[in-house]
Amino acid sequence: MKQTRTIGDHNIRLMFWIQFFGSISFLTPVLTLFYTERGLSASQVLIVLMFWSGAVLLGEVPTGIIADLFGAKKSFLIGTLLKVVSMFILLIADSPWMFYLYSFINGFSVTFFSGADEALIYDSLKESNTENKMDQAMGKIQSAGFISMIVTVLFGAYFAKDLKKEQFLLL
């Protein structure tokens, strides 16, 4: 007997690949070196990280409301657009305030995904009466991020081994 695929199966598979490709960042293992190469001091790097954390703290509730009102898919789209804007700012950043702005927007973009992905998967599983598989689904989806991080950390460190500006821009 042929097993039919449910919307839950489809969305789990889709979220796995979104998580996998969305977690790819060759710059992550050398980001602090990137900051220092661009002229930031150690204390300014700490402030960059604080802007990211502050944005996540401030954005969790409002972006959750947006996801509830407009749906998870629109929340993902807004978060993705903000992530792209933040990456563009990072590429052209030449002063501490531009790095702070990048970090804040990047942190805020993360909050559009927080909770919306779980809600989408749970609703999909509920449609097929398999909501008891939520733990398995989220484990599978989160494993995609770990797999891509393992690969990108190795390649990112290798590609930036000479710490040249061109290598950072490539990453």
Name which of 14, 141, 142 is nearest 73 in CA terms: 14
Q: What is the pLDDT of residue 168?
A: 61
Is residue 98 pLDDT above 90, yes or no?
A: yes
Q: Which residues of 53-90 are buried (b: 16+ CB within 10 A; e: fewer)?
A: eebbeebeeebbebbeeeebeebbebbeebbeebeebb
Q: Are 96 and 44 in contact (CB under 8 A)?
A: yes
Model-level pTM? 0.74
Q: How many CA atoms lie within 13 A of 160 on its CB side?
A: 23
**pLDDT per residue over 51-81, tens digit each?**
999 999 999 999 988 888 998 888 889 998 9
Name which of 15, 18, 43 is nearest 119 in CA terms: 15
Q: What is the pLDDT of residue 55?
A: 96
Structure tokens at 112: 């559009």
